[in-house]
Amino acid sequence: MLTFLGFLMILIFMVLIMNKKMTPLTALVIVPVTIALFAGFGPELGDMMKNGVKEIALTGVMLIFAILYFSLMIDTGLFEPLVNIILKAVGDNPIKTTIGTAVLTALVSLDGDGSSTYLIVVAAMLPLYKRQGMNPLILTCIIMLAGQIMNILPWGGPTARVMSSLKLGHTEIFVPMIPIMAIGILWVIFVAYILGRREKIRIAKHGKFTNYNSNDIIGEVDPKLRRPKLILINLALTIALLVVMILDIVPLGIAFMIAFCLASIINYPKLKDQQKIISKHAGNALSVAGMIFGAGIFTGILNGSGIMQAMGNSMIEIVPKSWGGYLNIITALFSIPLTFFLSNDAYYFGILPIIVATGHQLGISPEILGRASLIGQGSHLLSPLVPSTYLLVSLAGVEFSDHLKYTLKWALGSSIVMLLAALILGVI
């Protein structure tokens, strides 16, 4: 029953947002609350939602101030030199622009933090997409495809969870996955080429895309807010922020709060200018924060009710015992829907140990199953349960439902390519 309710909850959510019957925020809150009340969880509902919001609170704070900080830096013109360099390199060629997006995302993703990757890459590339009249859905698609592959880095999250859950080191789990990641990135570059070529043909036939959202991260350029004389100071502050983030000196949300306050004072000493900056970008920050806390309620109910664990166990139980010898392939295949419908914590700490215990009886080593469980990361970030996804679509000014429909087939392609590569190279 819990499994049925879980899949029903996610199905209703997906149908509502993909058909644009509700906003993601409304659906994230109303759908799980309604299902939980129907299932008789009314008395515990308050604690479930509170715990879910508490779990996501620091992420929400971080994203609010990260948006404010990078938006301020865009207003000052910090990224203009980078944009001009990229523009000279790609010219007026959508193919070079899309490939450049894939390469830049892969490089920036080396820090292992998806949110900062989205902020930096969108800030650098969205102006180019606007100048060339390209569809911003292509931008969000390529960024997510590359980001999902790079998310397998040990400091990115999933791999660290696998190592912790199975008590294994990076040499057993991550190192064999490096060639798989490389093949995955080549796939993303190939997809970028296809999308760039299609867009080049579309522009030649139908003209430039102009239906951009005025509330994206770039917004309207205000020359009065430019601070070209302070570009080196702003660059130094941004680099210091990234160093603090990588070294994990203080919580990232606190670091962005301090950095935003310092940047406001340095660039806009007058109080009215500081208020103008906050007012200009508050809507974007609030819309992302709202969806983040909505996702907290969604996952809080899934976890607190036991629905998430039941969904994972039920999916494992449907595999016939006679297929046990193919548990490595089954694990890789099932990791695609499991990491989409479940959180990484639920999957890697709740479900993977059960799979490994089964594998032990069949003589399949834990490291093989651990590596197989990472294949699904090729489509994980598209999940509505991943907070940073809402940040990406908000920054680029696209609808979550449009992004999901546009990117899903390519993301599934990433997982399939990685699975075939892992089988051919003997990694799993």
Largest Cα–Cα distance of the chain, in whole Å? 72
Phi, psi of 318 (to 5 degrees): -75, -10
Residues with Cβ within 8 Å of 321's Cβ and at least 6 positions away in sequence, in order, are: none
SS3 state of residue 214? coil
| Cβ-based neighbour number of residue 31 at 10 Å | 24
User: Which two structure tokens, joined as six digits, stand for 409?
Assistant: 């087939």
Provide the residue type at 236 as one letter: A
d(CA 299, CA 323): 32
DSSP state of 307: H
User: Which two structure tokens, joined as six digits, stand for 125?
Assistant: 């590339």
> Mind listing the pLDDT tens digit of every residue in the chain (428 residues)?
787 888 788 788 878 877 778 887 888 889 889 988 988 888 888 899 998 888 878 878 877 888 888 888 878 888 778 777 777 777 778 999 999 999 889 888 876 667 778 888 888 888 889 889 999 999 999 999 999 998 888 776 788 888 877 878 878 888 899 999 999 999 999 999 999 999 999 999 988 888 888 777 766 667 788 888 888 999 999 889 878 877 778 887 888 899 999 999 999 998 888 888 888 878 777 877 887 788 888 888 888 888 877 776 776 676 666 666 788 888 899 888 888 877 777 788 777 887 887 787 777 888 999 999 999 888 888 888 787 888 898 888 898 889 999 999 999 999 999 999 999 998 88
d(CA 217, CA 139): 13
Instruction: Calculate helix-pair angle for 42-76, 387-396, nearest 10 degrees.
Output: 40
- Look up tokens 């149908």; give the residue: 15
User: Which two structure tokens, joined as six digits, stand for 357?
Assistant: 């215990």
What is the enclosing helix (H) or strand (E) of 316?
A: helix 307-317
